[in-house]
A and B are shown apart, each in its own frame.
Chain A
Amino acid sequence: MTEPTALQEAWEIVKTQFPLAIWETVYVTVLATLFAVIIGLPLGVLLVIGDKGGIKPLPGWLMKIINVIINLLRSVPFLIIIIVVFPLTRLIMGTAVGTAASIVPLTVAAFPFIARLVESSLREVDPNVIEMAQSAGADSWQIITKVMIPESVPSLVANITIALTTILGYTATSGAIGGGGLGKIAITYGYYRYKYLIMIFAVVLLIVLVQIIQTTGTHLASALDHRLKK
């Protein structure tokens, strides 16, 4: 008769701990993505306009350095990033552990990824349309703000959706430094205490969250795309 007790116990934990865990997962994911976009969007713009054929070509060596840094940050495993940015986290948040503190390493890990996504979105903008803007007398800032970004909104939304789901996955790892959320519950109960039922429940909830984000993002992207209107 261990089954019902395990189930009851699991349900008790789900009821008491999951609401907070879901909230923590969501707000950490959203805030980390927001900060990563704030850093990654201008960087992505720079990657496109500073390119050889871009509207504001920068010296080749500078572009090379920026590219190398981005690739470097993207190839470091997230767990290592958490440890490496400890001093930075402490500087910004006052502490290096806890749910709120995990936003810092998440942002550091995500912004190079976002920069690449923004880069690929902006590269989809028809170069002929950019030429049109130049022929109409637009300066570089106007081309970025009135042509490149507005024209790639649907693609940016689709790509930021991808970023959200990826960062959601990272939040599970940040449980290692005391970051809260569903990932932490899955690890502490499932991995450390062998409460597989709770682990499964947490993982299922993570899957549901990813589904919700992805579906909403995809719908939003196509709703915003006026190329698809007939």
Chain B
Amino acid sequence: MIRLVGLSKTFTSSQGTVEALKNINITIEDGDIFGIIGMSGAGKSTLIRCINMLERPTEGTVYIDDIDLSRLNRRELRKVRGKVAMVFQNFNLLMQKTALQNVCFPLDIANVKPEAAEAKARELLKLVGLEDKENAYPAQLSGGQQQRVAIARALATDPKVLLCDEPTSALDPNTTNSILDLIRDINEKLHITVIVITHQMSVVESICKNVAILDNGEVAEQGAVGEVFAQPKSRAARALVYPESSQESAISVEGQKLIRVVFNGAETAREPMIATMASKEGILANIAFASTRTINDRVYGSMLLGIEEKQVERAKKYLTGSRGITVQEVSEND
């Protein structure tokens, strides 16, 4: 179990101080795939670097299996880092070393005998599907293959936790999916807890079980992915879950108010909800935006409806009555 307790990080420079992280409290259970999502500048990278103490937090601490990392000396910390491996956005491979030598690197650091290290590295290259590339240099590999080598390298020391810092941000969509599948496989087969930092909703949707939304150095919201994404409560969460919100001002019509309707699960999709509302209640809705997404094999949909101001309250009442639907009024500064 990983616990971040009251974690704060303040950077001091000649230009003044920046509070990168403010009182972060997150608990991550063993075996979880935990997503930390936020816009750029939200403090994601700093947060993941605090988990293995590449950045020392200014306040608060990190517990991994009840070991307080902030109390460890440098030597003890280096040992812990063997158990908390990291995967990076730009792979960070040694460019002058072969794939095999790259995977051997953490073992070499840990003074494992070369023969034993190579045997282990070959096994891992096979796991990531690159057994035929052991003598290739990173420059000879594609981005996806390079990230596979980096993942194999991260697994070399049998870590308990895998920290992934934007692991797919430098990859194309197809490669992204294959790398995410690999990460999910590793989580399931090797029972490694995975923490993924990302700015891509799709990454969290496709592999994460739990998520924390980071906004301006603070956790805006956290919980199971399905719940957070179906009913985002904070402004930051809504901005991420409904990126179309930023276009709302452009499509809002004089005299109309926008409400957001989120439906949860497939059963609601069978009813002609908007048509029924028009024929039974006489409320005419202007559909400004609609989409569906699948999270953990469940369907979630959202719509932005433009409705006459006088009818808004009635519409909200009507829609809230249906099963699996939540309704929110969208305010100007949302």
Contacts and interface: CB of A to CB of B under 8 A. Distances in A.
B109 A146 contact: yes
Nearest to A150: B96
B234 interface: no
Given A151-B95, A151-B96, A137 B88 contact: no
Given A128-B90, A151-B95, A230-B139, A136 B85 contact: yes
Question: Which interface class (under 10, 10 to 19, 20 to 34, 35 or more) fits A?
Answer: 20 to 34
B81 interface: yes
Interface residues of B, number: 31
A229 B82 contact: no
Given A136-B106, A146-B108, A229-B139, A129 B94 contact: yes
B86 interface: yes
Given A146-B109, A153-B96, A229-B139, A135 B90 contact: no
A133 interface: yes
Contacts of A227: 95-96, 137-139
A228 B109 CA distance: 26
Contacts of A45: none
B94 A135 contact: no
Nearest to A140: B74
A207 to B, nearest CB: 33
Given A137-B110, A227-B137, 16 more contacts: A129-B94, A132-B86, A136-B81, A136-B82, A136-B86, A136-B153, A138-B78, A146-B108, A146-B109, A147-B94, A150-B94, A150-B96, A151-B95, A153-B96, A226-B95, A229-B140
Interface of B: 52, 54, 74, 78-82, 84-86, 88, 90, 92-97, 105-106, 108-110, 137-140, 153, 157, 163
22 contacts: A128-B92, A131-B54, A131-B88, A132-B86, A132-B92, A135-B84, A135-B85, A135-B86, A136-B81, A136-B85, A136-B105, A136-B157, A137-B78, A137-B79, A137-B82, A139-B78, A150-B94, A151-B94, A226-B138, A229-B137, A229-B140, A230-B139
